[in-house]
Amino acid sequence: MKKMKHVKKAAAVFLAALMVVSGTACSKSETGGESGGDTTAQSGESAQSGSGTHLNFSCYNYSNSMDPVTNVNSSWCFLRYGVGECLFKFDEEVQVEYALCDSYETEDYTTWVLHIRDGVKFSNGNDVTPTVVKESLERVYAAEADGSGNSTPSQYVTFSGIEADDEAGTVTLVCDSQTVNLPGILAYPWYAIVDTSVIDEEVIGTGPYAVSAIAENSTIDLVRNENYWDGEVPYDSITIYLTEDSSTKAMALQSGDVELVENITTASDLEALEADPTYYVSTTAGVRLGNSYFNYNGVLGNEALRQAIQYAIDDTTMCDVTVGGMYTAGCSVLPSSLSYGYDELTDTYAYDLDKAVAVLDKAGIVDSDGDGYRELDGEKINLNYVAYSSRNLDEFAQAVAITLESIGIGCTVTVQDYDTALANQSAGNFDLISSNATTVPTGDPVGFLGNFYSGNSQDYGYYSNEEYDALYEQLLNTTDEEEQLSLIIDLQQVLIDDAATLVHGYYNSTFASRADAVSGADIVPMDYYWITTKIKPAE
């Protein structure tokens, strides 16, 4: 038996919303989302009623769904809200630990026999069996295949077979190719386990909390999962306030309307909280990339135009001034905080506005009619820039647009909610689209680098580069750590040289809490986990 390989690597507005949603119960028909089986209210009292320990938590609304098949953010919400779990999980050091699986065997990293933890139940009391695990995994792949979901589990691993043995308590997974990091992959939220017997009505998981009511775009009420397998659940109930504006979250914390918030992205608000001992602010080193993808099926398929954009953008000023130090500037898709050879890379397109203009002029991308905008192939350039407001991405987009306008490149920024932006990304309805994502989603960067592999890049702007593809395929097929590192460095440099994506910088995630009300509210690098049993009432 192989042992587990650890993989290292405005308050008034808020109060008005509170008044609107208090005492409101949503029927199942009110909580629908983009695909079948979205989260709906479970039986039980509203979290606002009764007595007992209660937590008010404010966060950005990343998705109106908690179904892992809907899209990447819905799967994250399933885990982040403490409703769902995977077969494996990551600890604070980004090492893989057992979760719903408690042991496994593999001889060749292709066939894996996973033992499903005995006695685990879903929050509705149904047993977690190998058959249900098999059906849950198959469901997310089926939704990808038939287009009913936007999650793409095949990006990380595909299986030629999944078999369940309820008597032995095992699930056997046969990978299509050698997959050394399968436990890390199965810790990714796409692979979270749902109760397939009720999935057409509601999304049920095994986490410490269960959904009791939802007011779409406003609140989510949670109650204690009385069937939870992994220790005591600290709170009887939790109300999640879905809050778009960062300053509103900060004011709600300061007024005492909530006790915990995620990601205060206004620098002055964060500084005020950090300076006041009333609040505890937890910050984790950045493993997240803030970037904007280019759509290669449009005008940004033009290499000179992409190069000029790279030269034109002053990422250091944007990170230090525009977003008040919330990001650290960099040139690569992998953050400088990770051990993947950042110092060995060359910034091919370091900020130089004069060079940007020269590249455009040399390529004949000029303003021929004197209207102030350059043309490409006879058409005035007006880039469709899609952004969403989470983690300062809208501020980056606006700053980029202003700079590009200054050198004659038209650019229109549209700020959308995340689900709409993601749908437009999947449909290719953009020239640039903002993104903030963890670069080590499965404990290493292989999966993230796959966003630029031509076999996967249709959802990220249709990037295609033969050299990159060849290097990436080598990476997929090697188990030697030194060779892996060398290939990862080479892949980063290809993306830089090809002006493949507009890198802004590397984000630091934060939690802020009222120190007299909450303990254990520490943000972790793998921010799939927000509401956990470690967060408790302060003693």
The one-digit pLDDT tens for each residue of the chain (539 residues) are 333 433 333 333 333 333 333 333 332 222 223 223 333 333 333 334 345 899 999 999 989 999 999 999 999 999 999 999 999 999 988 889 999 999 999 999 999 999 999 999 999 999 999 999 999 999 999 999 999 999 999 989 999 999 999 999 999 999 999 898 999 999 999 999 999 999 999 999 999 999 999 999 999 999 999 999 999 999 999 999 999 899 999 999 999 999 999 989 888 999 999 999 999 999 887 789 999 999 999 999 999 999 999 999 999 999 999 988 889 999 999 999 888 999 999 999 999 999 999 999 999 999 999 999 999 999 999 999 999 888 889 999 999 999 999 999 999 999 998 888 888 998 999 999 999 989 999 989 998 999 999 999 988 999 999 999 999 999 988 888 899 999 999 999 999 999 999 999 998 889 999 999 999 999 988 889 999 999 999 98
Provide the whole-model pTM.
0.76
pLDDT of the residue at 478: 87
End-to-end CA distance of the chain: 44
pLDDT at 51: 58
Beta strands in 117-263 (DSSP E): 159-165, 170-175, 209-215, 219-224, 237-242, 260-262
Strands 410-415 and 432-438, by their bridges, are unpaired
- Residue 187 DSSP symbol: T
Distance from C-alpha of 475 to C-alpha of 477, rounded to nearest angstrom: 5
Amino acid at 456: N
Q: What is the 3-state secondary structure (H, E, C) of 396-446?
A: HHHHHHHHHHHCCCEEEEEECCHHHHHHHHHHCCCCEEEEEEECCCCCCCH
Q: What angle do CA 205, 240, 27 make, to 5 degrees?
A: 70
Residue-level pLDDT at 266: 87
Distance CA 513, CA 536 (A): 11
Token pair, residue 5, equals: 């390989």
Q: Could you tell me which of 399, 66, 56, 25 has the C-alpha nearest to residue 243?
A: 56
* Domains (range + CATH), the chain: 11-261+515-537 (3.40.190.10), 285-508 (3.10.105.10)
CA 29, CA 26: separation in Å to the nearest integer? 8
Q: What angle do CA 366, 369, 375 make, to 5 degrees?
A: 40
Q: What are phi and psi of 324, to 5 degrees?
A: 60, 35
Cα 459 from Cα 137, distance rounded (Å)? 21
Q: Collapse the DSSP code of 283 into the 3-class scheme (helix H, G, I; strand E, B; otherwise coil) and give the result.
A: strand
Written as one letter, the residue type at 216 is E
Give start and end residues of each alpha helix (H) in 207-302: 246-255, 267-275
> Which helix (DSSP H) or strand (DSSP E) does residue 131 occupy?
helix 130-146
Instruction: State both tokens at 176.
Output: 């299509």
Q: Rounded distance, CA 24 to CA 128, Å?
A: 32
Q: In this structure, what token pair is assigned to residue 247?
A: 């300053």
- Beta-sheet strands, E only, within 123-250: 159-165, 170-175, 209-215, 219-224, 237-242
* Helix 393-406 vs helix 303-312: crossing angle, to nearest 10: 110
Which pLDDT belongs to residue 391? 85
- pLDDT score at 479: 82
Q: How many beta carbons lie within 10 A of that of residue 303, not counting itself?
A: 13
CB-based contacts of 489, cutoff 8 Å, min separation 6: 340, 341, 344, 345
**Under 8 Å between Cβ of 224 and 533:** no
